[in-house]
């Protein structure tokens, strides 16, 4: 390669290096697949890291049963097309007790259907490391996150047990009961993820592109009505709007934005020139102050 | 004075240009205390040189303080208003796009005694900004910081002399500090050591020239950062490729060595040497998912296929045959003690190099470096934040370079074999090619013993054989035995 490396070339090489280190050092890693753009980029990097082999770990999706239908279809198609094992885990106890994002506080719902579900799944399969798409630029509390982030038994995040990371030397030797989270996108920004989607011509869930979709306006946020499980409140109306999503999650908790960007290039242009920061669309973060940090200590990804 | 606030916007990408990759990436360490205005400085850089979201700008513009100016340090809250997490080592990462470049700002907060915070941050940095208050001038801390940067291999340093407004923009005061700084830096071998007068709060000489200091004709802080070579542009140096993994293709013929080029470059047809066997082979193919390459240079993550199968595994380093790394069992090193507890005798330890993990047989601490006086004092053990010189004897040889020559293959960490924790991070100052016979008094773990025991039935050349041998050596060391593994 004669042309100088762009910043994305450097970030890509770093992520590949991290994937390979983790695969070499951990006994049984798993790829936490959350279907969104970050997962899409992460999976693409995993494929590059182990080429010509397939990534030597399965994909695992924590299914709250409230993901957009388009997400589930995309998930199944991706795993099938790439010939990768896909583990889908749902917290059956939580689902059986009727915990849902419509009637329960987002913090409780997230704890039961995401945090607890993730812990169950990791324990069930005995995974000692899990790849995730978290980035340090996402939130202030993540600015100090390590590339290899350790969890004590019970998946507790203990700030005092985190290891300093020097040079490119990643230390994956686990203590008793410990597991690790591995973040190959640590040094990527939201912009980088989008630029990379475009540069590598990656397929993303159609929900990122604007289309006419059934919506309701609630608390000043546009929510998409993906199925019939969320009844309208008095005074609310089902309205077709041209919308797209900046982040994807459980549909009753994910706000849309009105947009006409209906192809990936215009979405990226619109996103990169946006005037507001990313996580506004994710309602769980507004539920309580310091939400993310607290969730992390409880074992959220 | 407040009039120029908020109107500047340099290098903010607009329209379709945001779709292009940035041309380079530079990692910048910021050191200095909160009192010196570090958050304001980083905030100012973000404010003047990047396209912050409008909602963020609006929030900051409302934050007028008693001095009538917006509080730019709020842009980096989270970094500073962090809940103190006791004695953990924390560096915060922030990403700034200015001009056509990505700057990764690495902030090592904490008390000046937190050498390990700064050493950790410095290990990732291409350039360091040392921040001081113009009223206080060069302090002991500056020398201390310079010593750590030097040790960790940072070659470029900028002294940002902040709060120039509070010394009436005095050129005399700046020149005095500049001279003191030059005096401190003379002891070290930095490639670049530049002092710049700034006023982060007002913006002078951060991203824009100063209207108040017309006597200063030098570069702004951003000018200096913009001139630092990007990562991945450092050419030259002998080829180094620490092998991370062996990958196999669908057909049986492809056996690829996965890794990242740590130094120099390699091309198809080049002869390379395997550090573990000493044998050489030719590069047959350099593979990536995006197609085969003719050559690969420092920083590139690739898969190398050789023309003959040398049975190479993780831990080996491929190199240029004429300029190979040293395969050594004894290392003379300098390290920063990162653990929260002092070194204990017979602590089971492993040394991790780029991709190898080797049991430590003995660790002999020679001295501790006093960062204030730069004098060495003889010590027996290592305490948190100590910079120590030590000789490390390994249970088997490892391929390394002198850090001063090749940083990537000349750095290491020490790992606690029981907890897995990282005990120390260090650099190889000298490596002695290993003697074939065991060190006097050491217990030799022979291949025969291993093959008849924990390694029974395993391929003696295989990775699992070596891994188990390493574990046995580690346990013996924890029991107080100096142990070596027969090659």
Which residues face A125 on adjacent strands? Answer: none
Distance CA(B447)–CA(B455), nearest Å, equals 9
Please name which of B24, B217, B196 lies closest in space to residue B103, comparing C-alpha atoms.
B24
Range scoring the smallest mean pLDDT among B56-70, B203-217, B289-303: B56-70
Average per-residue pLDDT for chain B = 86
Examine the pLDDT at B58 and tell me if it is beyond 90: no
pLDDT category of residue A275 using cuts at 50, 70 and 90: low
pLDDT of amino acid B434: 61
Examine the pLDDT at B97 and tell me if it is beyond 50: yes
> Which H or E run includes A99?
none
Among candidates A6, A269, A277 on the partner chain, residue whose Cβ is nearest the Cβ of B16: A269
**Which residues 276-315 in chain B show a CB within 8 A of chain A?**
287-290, 293, 295-297, 299-301, 303, 314
Chain A residues in contact with B289 (beta carbon < 8 A) = 47-48, 51-52
ipTM of the complex: 0.90
C-alpha distance from B468 to closest chain A C-alpha (Å): 14
C-alpha distance from B238 to closest chain A C-alpha (Å): 18
Contact B262, B406 (CB under 8 A): yes
Contact B149, B184 (CB under 8 A): no
In this structure, the dihedral spanned by the alpha carbons of residues B1, B32, B26 and B245, taken in order and rounded to 10 degrees, is -160
For the four alpha carbons of B13, B18, B22 and B23, in that order, the dihedral sign comes to negative
Residue of chain A whose Cα is closest to the Cα of B93 = A143
- Determine, for residues A160 and B86 on separate chains, whether the beta-carbon distance falls below 8 Å: yes
- Determine, for residues B93 and A23 on separate chains, whether the beta-carbon distance falls below 8 Å: no
- Determine, for residues B19 and A268 on separate chains, whether the beta-carbon distance falls below 8 Å: yes
**Which residues 26-55 in chain B show a CB within 8 A of chain A?**
53-55
Distance CA(B44)–CA(B75), nearest Å, equals 9
Q: Hey, which of B367-376, B440-449, B463-472 has the most confident mean pLDDT?
A: B367-376
pLDDT category of residue B117 using cuts at 50, 70 and 90: confident
pLDDT of amino acid B112: 56
Degrees to nearest 5, angle at CA A204 with A198 and A206: 120
Distance CA(A258)–CA(B135), nearest Å, equals 52
Q: B206: Cβ–Cβ under 8 A, 6 or more apart, which residues? A: B41, B44, B45, B48, B198, B200, B220, B221, B222
Which residues face B302 on adjacent strands? Answer: B259
Range scoring the smallest mean pLDDT among B225-229, B339-343, B439-443, B447-451: B439-443
Distance CA(A202)–CA(B71), nearest Å, equals 41
- Determine, for residues B101 and A7 on separate chains, whether the beta-carbon distance falls below 8 Å: yes
Can you read off the two tokens belonging to residue A76?
Answer: 């199944």
In terms of pLDDT, which residue wins out, B405 or B442? B405
Chain B residues in contact with A50 (beta carbon < 8 A) = 245, 247, 258
pLDDT category of residue A276 using cuts at 50, 70 and 90: low
- Flag whether residue A124 sits within 8 Å of chain B, measured between CB atoms: no
CATH superfamily of B2-226: P-loop containing nucleotide triphosphate hydrolases (3.40.50.300)
Please name which of A18, A81, A41, A91 lies closest in space to residue A61, comparing C-alpha atoms.
A91
**Per-residue pLDDT reduced to its tens digit, A216-228:** 999 999 999 999 9
pLDDT category of residue A294 using cuts at 50, 70 and 90: low
pLDDT of amino acid B116: 86
Contact A156, A297 (CB under 8 A): yes
- Flag whether residue B112 sits within 8 Å of chain A, measured between CB atoms: no
Chain A residues in contact with B407 (beta carbon < 8 A) = 167
Question: Same structural domain for residues A115 and A235?
Answer: no
pLDDT of amino acid B437: 52
pLDDT category of residue B484 using cuts at 50, 70 and 90: confident
CA B297 to chain centre: 19
Please name which of A108, A114, A109, A100 lies closest in space to residue A230, comparing C-alpha atoms.
A100
Question: Same structural domain for residues A110 and A244?
Answer: no
Q: Do domains B240-322 and B326-485 have the same CATH topology?
A: yes
Strands A211-218 and A221-224: antiparallel
Contact B134, B174 (CB under 8 A): yes
What range does the domain containing A274 cover? 203-284
Range scoring the smallest mean pLDDT among A99-103, B84-88, B299-303, B438-442: B84-88
Question: Same structural domain for residues A158 and A223?
Answer: no
Q: What is the CA radius of gyration of chain A?
A: 19
- A-B CB pairs within 8 A amount to 207
Say if domain B326-485 classifies as CATH 2.40.30.10.
Answer: yes
Distance CA(A101)–CA(A152), nearest Å, equals 29
Degrees to nearest 5, angle at CA A242 with A237 and A248: 90
Q: A3: Cβ–Cβ under 8 A, 6 or more apart, which residues? A: none
- Is A2 among the domain residues? no
Question: Same structural domain for residues A95 and A214?
Answer: no
Degrees to nearest 5, angle at CA A189 with A211 and B127: 160
Question: Same structural domain for residues A48 and A180?
Answer: yes
**Per-residue pLDDT reduced to its tens digit, B409-441:** 999 999 999 899 999 999 999 998 765 555 667
Residue of chain A whose Cα is closest to the Cα of B349 = A173
DSSP string for B143-182: HHHHHHHHHTT--EEEEEEE-GGGGTT-HHHHHHHHHHHH
pLDDT of amino acid B113: 61
pLDDT category of residue A295 using cuts at 50, 70 and 90: low
**Per-residue pLDDT reduced to its tens digit, B244-291:** 999 987 766 778 999 999 999 999 999 999 999 999 999 999 999 999
Which residues face A109 on adjacent strands? Answer: none
End-to-end CA gap in chain B: 71
Contact A147, A163 (CB under 8 A): no
- Determine, for residues B289 and A51 on separate chains, whether the beta-carbon distance falls below 8 Å: yes
- Flag whether residue A138 sits within 8 Å of chain B, measured between CB atoms: no
CATH of the domain at A148: 3.40.50.620
* % of chain B residues with pLDDT over 70: 90
CA B342 to chain centre: 23
Examine the pLDDT at B474 and tell me if it is beyond 90: no
Range scoring the smallest mean pLDDT among A9-18, A96-105, A153-162: A153-162
Instruction: Enter the DSSP assignment of A53.
Output: S
Average pLDDT, integer, range B323-347: 91
Average pLDDT, integer, range A16-25: 98
Examine the pLDDT at A286 and tell me if it is beyond 70: no
Distance CA(A247)–CA(A229), nearest Å, equals 21
**B22 burial type by CB count under 10 A (0-12 exposed, 13-18 middle, 19+ buried):** buried
Question: Same structural domain for residues A244 and A268?
Answer: yes
Among candidates B55, B91, B259 on the partner chain, residue whose Cβ is nearest the Cβ of A144: B91
Which residues face A59 on adjacent strands? Answer: A31, A86
- Determine, for residues A48 and B244 on separate chains, whether the beta-carbon distance falls below 8 Å: no
Question: Same structural domain for residues A15 and A46?
Answer: yes
- Flag whether residue A279 sits within 8 Å of chain B, measured between CB atoms: no
Examine the pLDDT at B82 and tell me if it is beyond 60: no
C-alpha distance from A268 to closest chain B C-alpha (Å): 7
Please name which of B372, B388, B487, B471 lies closest in space to residue B434, comparing C-alpha atoms.
B487
Please name which of B235, B300, B25, B233 lies closest in space to residue A15, comparing C-alpha atoms.
B300
Domain boundaries of chain B, sorted by first residue? 2-226, 240-322, 326-485
Question: Same structural domain for residues A46 and A177?
Answer: yes
In terms of pLDDT, which residue wins out, B467 or A42? A42
- Is A269 among the domain residues? yes
pLDDT of amino acid A51: 94
> Which H or E run includes B296?
strand B295-297
pLDDT category of residue A161 using cuts at 50, 70 and 90: confident
- Is A237 among the domain residues? yes
- Determine, for residues B230 and A5 on separate chains, whether the beta-carbon distance falls below 8 Å: yes
Average per-residue pLDDT for chain A = 89
Q: What is the largest CA-CA distance in chain B?
A: 81
Can you read off the two tokens belonging to residue A13?
Answer: 């090489």
C-alpha distance from B182 to closest chain A C-alpha (Å): 28
Say if domain B240-322 classifies as CATH 3.40.50.150.
Answer: no
Question: Same structural domain for residues A21 and A144?
Answer: yes
Q: Sheet harboring B127-133: ordered strands across?
A: B92-98, B101-107, B24-31, B127-133, B156-162, B192-197
pLDDT of amino acid B15: 40
Range scoring the smallest mean pLDDT among A244-248, B17-21, B66-70: B17-21
Chain B residues in contact with A143 (beta carbon < 8 A) = 78-79, 92-94
Q: Hey, which of A197-211, B56-70, B229-243 has the most confident mean pLDDT?
A: A197-211
DSSP string for B125-153: -SEEEEEEETTT-S-HHHHHHHHHHHHTT
- Is A87 among the domain residues? yes
Examine the pLDDT at B296 and tell me if it is beyond 50: yes
**Which residues 8-67 in chain A show a CB within 8 A of chain B?**
8-14, 16-17, 20-21, 23-24, 47-53
Examine the pLDDT at B382 and tell me if it is beyond 60: yes
pLDDT of amino acid B110: 56
> Which H or E run includes A102?
none
Q: B225: Cβ–Cβ under 8 A, 6 or more apart, which residues? A: B26, B28, B98, B103, B127, B158
Average pLDDT, integer, range B41-54: 83
Question: Same structural domain for residues A25 and A76?
Answer: yes
pLDDT of amino acid B347: 82
Can you read off the two tokens belonging to residue A255?
Answer: 């706000």
Contact B261, A17 (CB under 8 A): no
Half-sphere exposure of residue A190, counting CA atoms within 13 Å on the CB side? 19
Examine the pLDDT at B3 and tell me if it is beyond 60: no
Distance CA(A80)–CA(A2), nearest Å, equals 36
pLDDT category of residue B453 using cuts at 50, 70 and 90: confident
pLDDT category of residue B21 using cuts at 50, 70 and 90: confident
- Flag whether residue A178 sits within 8 Å of chain B, measured between CB atoms: yes
- Determine, for residues A5 and B299 on separate chains, whether the beta-carbon distance falls below 8 Å: yes
**Per-residue pLDDT reduced to its tens digit, B170-182:** 999 999 999 999 9
pLDDT category of residue B26 using cuts at 50, 70 and 90: very high
- Determine, for residues B19 and A24 on separate chains, whether the beta-carbon distance falls below 8 Å: no
Distance CA(B369)–CA(B385), nearest Å, equals 11
pLDDT of amino acid B235: 75
Contact B351, B426 (CB under 8 A): no
Contact B26, B110 (CB under 8 A): no
Please count the structural domains in chain A: 2
């Amino acid at each position: 390669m004669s042309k100088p490396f762009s910043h994305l070339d450097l970030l890509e090489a770093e992520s590949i290096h991290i994937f390979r280190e983790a695969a070499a050092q951990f006994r049984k890693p798993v790829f936490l697949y959350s279907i969104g753009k970050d997962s899409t980029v992460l999976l693409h990097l995993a494929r590059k890291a182990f080429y010509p082999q397939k990534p030597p770990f399965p994909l695992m999706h924590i299914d709250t049963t409230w993901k957009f239908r388009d997400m589930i279809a995309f998930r199944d198609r991706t795993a099938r097309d790439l010939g990768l094992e896909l583990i889908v885990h749902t917290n059956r106890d939580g689902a059986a007790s009727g915990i849902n994002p419509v009637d329960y506080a987002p913090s409780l719902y997230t704890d039961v259907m995401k945090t607890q579900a993730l812990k169950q799944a990791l324990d069930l399969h005995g995974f000692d490391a899990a790849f995730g798409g978290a980035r340090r630029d996402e939130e202030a509390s993540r600015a100090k996150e390590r590339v290899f982030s350790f969890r004590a038994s019970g998946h507790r995040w203990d700030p005092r047990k985190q290891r300093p990371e020097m040079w490119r030397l990643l230390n994956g030797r686990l203590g008793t009961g410990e597991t690790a989270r591995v973040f190959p996108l640590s040094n990527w920004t939201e912009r980088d993820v989008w630029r990379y989607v475009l540069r590598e011509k990656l397929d993303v869930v159609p929900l990122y592109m604007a289309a006419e979709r059934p919506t309701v306006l609630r608390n000043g946020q546009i929510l998409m009505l993906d199925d019939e499980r969320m009844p309208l409140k008095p005074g609310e109306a089902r309205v077709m709007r041209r919308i797209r999503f900046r982040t994807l999650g459980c549909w009753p908790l994910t706000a849309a934005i009105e947009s006409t960007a209906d192809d990936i290039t215009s979405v990226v242009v619109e996103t990169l020139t946006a005037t507001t920061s990313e996580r506004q669309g994710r309602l769980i973060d507004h539920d309580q102050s310091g939400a993310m940090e607290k969730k992390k200590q409880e074992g959220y990804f | 004075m407040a009039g120029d606030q908020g109107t500047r916007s340099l290098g903010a990408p607009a329209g379709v240009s945001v779709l292009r990759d940035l041309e380079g990436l530079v990692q910048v360490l910021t050191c200095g205390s909160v009192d010196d205005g570090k958050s304001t400085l980083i905030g100012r850089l973000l404010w003047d040189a990047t396209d912050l979201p409008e909602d963020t700008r609006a929030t900051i513009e409302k934050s007028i303080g008693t001095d009538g100016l917006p509080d730019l340090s709020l842009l980096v809250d989270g970094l500073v208003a962090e809940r103190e997490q006791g004695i953990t080592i924390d560096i915060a990462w922030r990403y700034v796009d200015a001009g056509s470049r990505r700057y990764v700002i690495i902030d090592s907060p904490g008390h000046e005694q937190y050498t390990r915070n700064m050493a950790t941050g410095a290990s990732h940095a291409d350039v360091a900004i040392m921040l001081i208050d113009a009223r206080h001038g060069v302090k002991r801390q500056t020398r201390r910081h310079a010593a750590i940067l030097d040790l960790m291999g940072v070659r470029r340093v900028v002294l940002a002399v902040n709060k120039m407004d509070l010394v009436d923009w005095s050129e005399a005061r700046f020149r005095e500090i500049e001279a003191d700084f030059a005096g401190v830096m003379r002891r070290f071998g930095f490639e670049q050591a530049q002092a710049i007068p700034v006023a982060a709060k007002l913006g002078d000489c951060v991203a824009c020239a100063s209207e108040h200091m017309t006597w200063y004709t030098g570069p702004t802080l951003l000018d200096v950062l913009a001139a630092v070579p990007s990562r991945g542009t450092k050419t030259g140096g002998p080829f180094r490729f620490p092998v991370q993994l062996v990958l196999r293709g669908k057909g049986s013929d492809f056996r690829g060595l996965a890794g990242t080029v740590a130094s120099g470059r390699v091309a198809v047809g080049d002869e390379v040497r395997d550090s573990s066997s000493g044998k050489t082979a030719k590069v047959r193919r350099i593979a990536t998912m995006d197609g085969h390459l003719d050559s690969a240079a420092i920083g590139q993550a690739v898969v190398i296929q050789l023309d003959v199968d040398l049975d190479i595994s993780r831990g080996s380093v491929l190199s240029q045959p004429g300029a190979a790394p040293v395969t050594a069992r004894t290392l003379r090193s300098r390290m920063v003690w990162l653990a929260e507890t002092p070194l204990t005798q017979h602590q089971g330890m492993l040394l991790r190099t780029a991709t190898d993990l080797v049991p430590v047989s003995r660790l002999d601490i020679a001295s501790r470096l006093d960062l204030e006086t730069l004098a060495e004092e003889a010590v027996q053990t290592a305490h948190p934040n100590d910079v120590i010189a030590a000789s490390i004897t390994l249970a088997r040889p490892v391929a390394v370079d002198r850090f001063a020559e090749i940083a990537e293959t000349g750095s290491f960490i020490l790992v606690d074999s029981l907890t897995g924790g990282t005990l120390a991070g260090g650099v190889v100052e000298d490596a002695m090619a290993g003697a074939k016979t065991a060190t006097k008094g050491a217990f030799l773990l022979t291949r025969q013993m291993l093959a008849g025991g924990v390694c029974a039935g395993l391929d003696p050349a295989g990775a699992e054989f070596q891994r188990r041998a390493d574990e046995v050596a580690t346990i013996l060391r924890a029991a107080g035995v100096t142990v070596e593994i027969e090659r």
